[in-house]
């Protein structure tokens, strides 16, 4: 049994198991019948098969192919007909279980047809001198059919809800993986790029015989590494939030270490507070791309109430190998808050990245 069958198994077996108590009546009539012992044993086995297939098979055939479901209903009906032919009309009561199985497994229009034949046979027997209680079989079959139809709809609803919950869980996992991948890219991409640049600067200072300046750069590398480790831990835990002020300061340091003239704002007061976090990610990724891919000598950053723009005088991504997956991640971030990313070459040369958020988003 798979996990998908668990909800319907519980629902069906609790309901169906109770009604197996009514098998005591055909069993009673079986022992009262004037038939050989061998036939009584065969009849008892037939009654047991009807009860077992009614209890155990509908849940397992609930979503099986139609021919498999029909085979169960026809098999139960044929077995009961044989019992009736051997032991008499009182055993028409067994058709209650066929009607219940059909109500679970068959379409509604087909399930309501199943009790018709046994009901006609029971009424015919009563009209021809049979016991009057056979009329109750008709009522029992109709009641079981419509009550089990309601149960079947409940089971289908439970299965649908169960699968929707599974799908929601899978989507939540996929979304968390995407967030983690995007955040780690943002954190490590920028930090490792800055560390690489500063490490290279420290090497050049050592080669130039300036150990004091090199030590200062190595100290910065150590601090950056510790900060990156802290960011990674916070990202994995889901507690990291980007700060536009911090990213602006980090961009200034990284651009200077790369020998790129940084034309950056001195404050972020003109950016709406609710947009600062997502624009901080844009600034981080945009500056990282300038450092990695552009070959620029100058980088200019400008802010607005709900926008950020980065310009450089380097090559386009197509000319310098492309910015990787960063812009795709930014597009996802901005789309989540109703914003857009526009990136492309400038007419006079260089590259521009602009992120803008709709004010009503």
3-state secondary structure the chain: CCHHHHHHHHHHHHHHHHHHHHHHHHHHHHHHCCCCHHHHHHHHHHHHHHHHHHHHHHHHCCCCCHHHHHHHHHHHHHHHHHHHHHHCHHHHHHHHHHHHHHHHHCCHHHHCCCCHHHHHHHHHHHHCCCCCCHHHHHHHHHHHHHHHHHHHHHHHHHHHHHHHHHHHHHHHHHHHHHHHHHHHHHHHHHHHHHHHHHHHHHHHHHHCCCHHHHHHHHHHHHHHHHHHHHHHHHHHHCCCCCCHHHHHHHHHHHHHHCCCEEECCCCCCCCCHHHHHHHHHHHHHHHHHHHHHHCCCEEEEEECCCEEEEEECCCCHHHHCCCCCHHHHHHHHHHHCCEEEEEEECCCCCEEEEEEECCCC
Q: Mean pLDDT in the chain? A: 79
Whole-number Å distance between alpha carbons of 77 and 50: 9
What are the chain's domains?
3-166 (no CATH), 244-361 (3.30.565.10)
pLDDT in tens, 310-348: 999 887 655 544 445 567 778 888 888 889 999 888 888
pLDDT at 6: 45
From the number of C-beta atoms within 10 Å of its C-beta (0-12, 13-18, 19+), residue 234 rates as middle
Cβ–Cβ under 8 Å, residues 338 and 324: no
Percent of the chain with pLDDT over 90: 12
From the number of C-beta atoms within 10 Å of its C-beta (0-12, 13-18, 19+), residue 359 rates as exposed
pLDDT at 353: 92
Evaluate the CA torsion angle 344, 345, 346, 350 in order and state its sign: positive
| Whether the predicted pLDDT of 354 surpasses 90 | yes
pLDDT at 79: 93
Question: Stretch 40-46: mean pLDDT, rounded?
Answer: 91
Structure tokens at 294: 């552009």
Whole-number Å distance between alpha carbons of 307 and 356: 4
pLDDT at 318: 55
For the ranges 5-19, 32-46, 154-168, the one whose mean pLDDT is highest: 32-46
Whole-number Å distance between alpha carbons of 249 and 235: 20
The Cβ-side half-sphere exposure at 77, using a 13 Å CA radius, reads: 15
Whole-number Å distance between alpha carbons of 276 and 271: 6
Question: Stretch 288-295: mean pLDDT, rounded?
Answer: 78
Confidence of residue 161 (pLDDT cuts 50, 70, 90): confident
pLDDT at 128: 77
Residues 6 or more apart whose CB falls under 8 angstroms from that of 196 comprise none
Question: Stretch 220-227: mean pLDDT, rounded?
Answer: 77
| Whether the predicted pLDDT of 3 surpasses 50 | no
> For 109-123, 206-220, 266-280, 285-299, which range has the lowest pLDDT when averaged over its residues?
109-123
For the ranges 8-12, 98-102, 239-243, 341-345, the one whose mean pLDDT is highest: 341-345
Cα 146 from chain centroid (whole Å): 34
- Model's pTM, two decimal places? 0.45
Write the Ramachandran bin of 88: left for phi over 0, alpha for psi from -120 to 50, otherwise beta. left
């Amino acid at each position: 049994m798979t996990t998908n069958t668990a909800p319907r198994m519980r629902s069906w077996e609790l309901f169906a198991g109770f009604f197996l108590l009514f098998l005591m009546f055909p069993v009673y009539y079986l022992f009262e019948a004037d038939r050989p012992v061998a036939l009584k044993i065969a009849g008892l086995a037939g009654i047991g098969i009807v009860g077992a297939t009614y209890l155990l098979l509908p849940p397992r055939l609930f979503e099986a192919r139609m021919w498999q479901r029909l085979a169960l209903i026809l098999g139960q009906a044929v077995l009961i007909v044989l019992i009736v032919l051997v032991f008499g009309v009182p055993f028409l009561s067994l058709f209650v279980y066929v009607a219940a199985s059909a109500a679970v497994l068959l379409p509604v229009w087909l399930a309501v047809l199943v009790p018709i034949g046994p009901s006609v046979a029971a009424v015919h027997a009563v009209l021809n001198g049979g016991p009057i209680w056979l009329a109750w079989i008709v009522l029992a079959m109709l009641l079981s059919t419509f009550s089990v139809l309601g149960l079947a709809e409940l089971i289908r609803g439970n299965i649908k809800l169960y699968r929707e919950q599974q799908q929601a869980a899978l989507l939540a996992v996929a979304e968390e993986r995407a967030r983690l991948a995007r955040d780690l890219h943002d954190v490590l991409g920028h930090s490792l790029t800055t560390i690489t640049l500063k490490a290279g600067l420290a090497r050049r200072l050592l080669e130039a015989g300036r150990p004091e300046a090199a030590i200062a750069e190595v100290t910065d590398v150590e601090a950056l590494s510790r900060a990156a480790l802290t960011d990674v831990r916070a990202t994995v835990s889901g507690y990291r939030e980007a700060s536009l002020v911090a990213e602006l300061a980090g961009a200034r340091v990284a651009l200077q270490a790369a020998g790129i003239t940084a034309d950056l704002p001195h404050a972020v007061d003109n950016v709406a507070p609710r947009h600062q976090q997502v624009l901080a990610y844009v600034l981080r990724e945009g500056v990282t791309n300038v450092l990695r891919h552009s070959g620029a000598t100058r980088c200019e950053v400008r802010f607005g109430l709900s926008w950020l723009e980065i310009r450089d005088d380097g090559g386009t991504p197509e000319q310098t190998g492309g910015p990787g997956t960063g812009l795709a991640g930014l597009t996802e971030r901005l789309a989540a808050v109703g914003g857009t990313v526009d990136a492309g070459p400038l007419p006079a040369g260089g590259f521009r990245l602009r992120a803008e958020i709709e004010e009503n988003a």
